[in-house]
Amino acid sequence: MLAVPFAALRPGSRAAWMAVAWSAGALLLYVPDTWLSPAEPLVRQASLVATAFAPPLLVALGYGRVYPRRRAAHPALCVAPAHVTGGRAERA
Amino acid sequence: MRLRPSLNRLHALALVGVLLELVLLIGVLYPFALWRVPDVVAASRPLARVLGHEWTGAVRFTGAVLLASTLFAVAAWLAGTQVGRGARALVLAMTVVYSLSLLPINPVGAQDIYHNIADARTVWHYRDNPLVLPPAAYPDDPLAGRVPAWQSTPSLYGPVWYLLAGVVTAIASEGLLANVLGHKALTALFLFVVTALAIRLADRLKPGAHMGAAAGVLVGWNPLLQFETAGNAHNDVVMVAFALGTLWAMSERWWWAVFPLLALAVATKYVLVVLAPVLLVWLLARRAAPRAAVIGSLLLGVAIGVTAMVPFMIGVDLLDAFWREGCFVSASPAALLHTLLGRLLPSDGLQRLTLVRAVLWPMGAAAYVVVLWRLVRAHTEAAVASACFWVIVLVLVLGLSWFGP
């Protein structure tokens, strides 16, 4: 929750998409925290950490690989319109 | 002809926003509504108490979260194409709608809210210090008995939070429901402020890119932030509002206000003190910021922080309090390593925690230095926002042994 508003200041960036994934993971954290509480401690902690941290980690690792390729292949998917100065289209 | 695609995109964003609202109504408000779950859920796992301890309860919650998160991601993508005022108005309006939808739920995700209500009464009704006296110190108080967890543990928030919570106490008096709704409304109000600040800051940090609506969606339409503020009244959003205020002050060249605003953030909850070196390095590295103004702002911030905190620090063993807070170990990489070491080494929990910190904290410190080094070499104002994000990530991933939404 702390990090998300700072990532939001740069929409479309790696940090912003990490924040989207982290938000989902943090909400899903309630599931193992609640329904896996009787589980063996190592299994429980592993599931908690995987739920909270794996989604943003995967996005962080995948962003650099996927996003430039997608921009090159589908310019129409660029987040900012092409005529907008300083938008993603310009960076691309 | 150029208007039609943008209007279609705005309509698409509005449609996704309405669908997200339906998911929140059906998946969150319906099962947790205060008229269905009116009492304090005094259980170690409140969500399971309400939704059921079987796997069906987990599936219900998971389904709602996945659906809401997917719609949120689609909205974040769609909002990146919005450039008009209509989009910003839509983002702010739906932020209010989501908050209003989650205000009347039982705060099943946070038992801290009842502790916070009791702490506010400690300050404003009993004129005592909640950093010293826990809710259990007032067994005859009509609300202290409703605190389901940590009754004998003093809280560790800053004076700004107790000041704001006092407004709720003054209005709600001894009514539990009124206090609960007041705390939720207070944090929801700050979420709205953070959303509005994010919209303005995103536009200001990258002029011409028109990313305000997307930034607003990432905050105000975020199911996590809505659930944790309007739903559960977590007060992190208050310190984040002041922290974004520091970035706003920097973007406006109000150098004198930068560190006083950060001091207010730290005087709400202490963790954001990690941003002070980031802001200081950035300001000193910039030629636009006069050194005298930066130093003056820093001194003013320290003065405000000390003045606010000193009355609450009398009689408090702060090191002991931070040590106590730091010993919670769960849901973090440190917790996983701690548990793993428990399998391998014949040692007690505190010894293992010390060992875990000896491994993770130097890594975090080294990464922090790298962030600062990259910030010195950066040339855009957006770099300071990124640095703040990465520093907080480092704290959450490597610094703290407890992670929670």
For B360-397, how does the pLDDT look when each residue is reduced to its tens digit (9 = 90+)? 999 999 999 999 999 998 878 889 999 999 999 999 99
Inter-CA distances, B346 with B65, B334, B351, B352, Å: 40, 18, 10, 9
Q: What is the pLDDT of residue A80?
A: 40
CA B128/CA B105 separation, integer angstroms = 31
Tens-place pLDDT, residues B183-225:
999 999 999 999 999 999 999 988 877 889 999 999 999 999 9
User: What are the b/e assignments for A52-73, b being 16+ CB within 10 Å?
Assistant: bbebbbebbeebeeebeeebee
Residue A7 with chain B: CB contacts under 8 Å? 218, 389
Return the amino acid letter for B305: G
DSSP class of residue A78 equals -
Count of alpha carbons within 13 Å of B218, Cβ hemisphere only? 33
Q: Using the predicted structure, report yes or no on whether residue B1 has a pLDDT greater than 60.
A: no
A71 Cβ neighbours under 8 A, 6+ residues apart: A77, A78, A88, A92
- For the stretch B10-58, pLDDT in tens is 899 999 999 999 999 999 999 999 999 998 998 888 999 999 988 899 9
Amino acid at B87: A
Interface of A with B in 19-38 (CB under 8 A): 19-20, 23-24, 26-31, 33-35, 37
pLDDT in tens, B102-128: 999 999 988 889 999 999 999 999 999
| Residue A67, min C-alpha distance to chain B (Å) | 13
The whole-angstrom separation of Cα A25 and Cα A10 is 20
pTM of the model: 0.91
- With helix as H, strand as E and coil as C, how does chain B read? CCHHHHHHHHHHHHHHHHHHHHHHHHHHHHHHECCCCCCCCCCCCHHHHHHCCCHHHHHHHHHHHHHHHHHHHHHHHHHCCCCCHHHHHHHHHHHHHHHHHHCCECCCCCCHHHHHHHHHHHHHCCCCCCCCCCHHHCCCCCCHHHCCCCCCCCCCCCHHHHHHHHHHHHHHCCCHHHHHHHHHHHHHHHHHHHHHHHHHHHHHHCCCCCCHHHHHHHHHCCHHHHHHHHHCCCCHHHHHHHHHHHHHHHHCCCHHHHHHHHHHHHCCCHHHHHHHHHHHHHHHHCCCCCHHHHHHHHHHHHHHHHHHHHHHHCCCCHHHHHHHHHCCCECCHHHHHHHHHHHHCCCCHHHHHHHHHHHHHHHHHHHHHHHHHHHHHCCCCHHHHHHHHHHHHHHHHHHCCECCC
Question: Would you state the pLDDT for residue A66?
Answer: 64
The distance from CA A89 to its chain's CA centroid, rounded to whole angstroms, is 21
Touching A: B residues 323-382, CB under 8 Å: 330-333, 335-336, 338-340, 342-343, 382
Give the Cα separation of B121 and B137 in Å (integer).
12
A42 interface with B at CB cutoff 8 Å: yes
Q: What was the pLDDT predicted at B172? A: 92
Closest CA to A28 of B224, B380, B206: B224
| B346 vs B280, residue with greater confidence | B280
Q: Residues B267-282: what's their mean pLDDT?
A: 94
Confidence of residue B7 (pLDDT cuts 50, 70, 90): low
Mean pLDDT of B312-336: 81
Instruction: From B241, B231, B213, select the one nearest B68 (Cα to Cα).
Output: B231
Report whether B216 contacts B199 (CB < 8 A).
Answer: yes
Mean pLDDT by 10 residues, chain A (92 residues): 92 94 95 85 92 94 68 44 37 34
Interface of B with A in 101-160 (CB under 8 A): 109
> Which among A9, A23, A86 is the nearest to B385, CB-wise?
A9
Closest approach of chain B CAs to the CA of A18, in angstroms? Answer: 10
Residues of B in contact with A35 (CB under 8 A): 45, 48, 53, 55, 57-58
Contact check, Cβ <8 Å, A86/B206: yes
A60 near B CB under 8 A:
no
pLDDT higher for B267 or A72? B267
- A14: helix, strand or coil: helix
d(Cα B361, Cα B394) in Å, to the nearest integer?
10
Q: Are B107 and B174 in contact (CB under 8 A)?
A: no
Give the mean model confidence (pLDDT) for residues B158-177: 93
Q: Is B131 in contact with B321 (CB distance < 8 Å)? A: yes
